[in-house]
Amino acid sequence: MNAGFVEVADRVHVLAEPLLRVNVTLVVGDDEALLVDTLSSAAQATELAAAVRAITDRPLTLVNTHHHYDHCFGNAVLAGDPPRPVYAHARAAAALREEPERLRREAYEELLAEHPTLAAELADTPLLAPTHTVHVETVLDLGGRRVLLRHPGRGHTDADLVVHVPDADVLVVGDLVEQSGPPAFEDSYPLQWPDAVADLLRLTTARTVVIPGHGDPVDVDFVRAQHAELAKLAWLIRAAHTGSAPPERVAAEAPFGARPALVATHRAYLQLNGDA
């Protein structure tokens, strides 16, 4: 991995994994530290653990922003021995607890062609389901520092969490916001995603540092602009569905490029038709 943490606000550090540009955030309190997301494999997580210990020796609490492999498959290395708390939305926890082999198989198939080494590492990585679940909100006390975990609604998945550090004015948003590429719609709820981003925007100020799931930290103006694009896509999908237009017509006009928009439209049509 060969990456270290960079401090982006007071005792809030971000590590950018270079292969998939996944962000991991470390929030240090007086008594404990909070680690948001754990990368894709035991090998990556082992390097991540060393990077964490270069910053702090405080006991860790983990948060998974959602259940996709690149954000949670390192849980066992970082929270398995000794056992440490791992927080996630209830549906993300259920997926990791009840369907680990499906998640592993889908991740392996996604990675195999372009990243075969990571695919092989992932195939041999033990998975650890979250131990603590969030439905709407949970507040954690790291010792002199309170952190909010919030589910803003369905968006990138049905189980997204954002992590708000009010005293540092930092918001970690997982894949609800993307900087290094277009949003990923494969497991998404495109018609509700704009509402989820509107919800997380209520936690921001003009100076908030926003940590996306992938890519560089962004400001609130970037998030507002992506919200506007998501809202435009949702409007186009609803209008096209009402007019019985094919998904390809939406993709030709929509933000984010033809392929992501086509995936989003297929997902939304299934939901509008009651099939998902």
Contact present, 62 and 87 (Cβ < 8 Å): yes
DSSP secondary structure letters along 138-158: EEEE-SS-EEEEE---SSSSS
Model confidence band, residue 276 (pLDDT cutoffs 50, 70, 90)? low
- Output Rg (C-alpha) for the chain, integer angstroms: 18
Distance (Å) of CA 275 to CA 95, 120, 214: 20, 34, 30
Structure tokens at 190: 């495109």
CATH code for the domain of 82: 3.60.15.10
Determine the pLDDT at residue 274. 85
Determine the pLDDT at residue 251. 86
User: Is residue 237 in a domain?
Assistant: no
Determine the pLDDT at residue 90. 98
Of all residues in the chain, what percent carry a pLDDT higher than 70? Answer: 99
User: Is residue 187 in a domain?
Assistant: yes
User: Is residue 243 in a domain?
Assistant: no
User: Is residue 245 in a domain?
Assistant: no
CA distance 109 to 98: 20
User: Is residue 197 in a domain?
Assistant: yes
Q: Quick check: 2 pLDDT over 60?
A: no
User: Is residue 228 in a domain?
Assistant: no
Instruction: Give the tens place of pLDDT for each residue, 137-193.
Output: 999 999 999 999 999 999 999 999 999 999 999 999 999 999 999 999 999 999 999
Expressed in angstroms, the distance from the first to the final Cα of the chain is 37
Determine the pLDDT at residue 93. 98
Angle at which helices 258-272 and 220-242 cross, to 10°: 60
CA atoms within 13 A of residue 149's CA, in its CB half-sphere: 29
Model confidence band, residue 252 (pLDDT cutoffs 50, 70, 90)? confident
Domain tally for the chain?
Answer: 1
Determine the pLDDT at residue 140. 98
Q: Report pTM.
A: 0.96
User: Is residue 244 in a domain?
Assistant: no
Cis peptide before 82 (omega within 30 of 0): yes
Domain range holding 44?
A: 5-219
User: Is residue 59 in a domain?
Assistant: yes
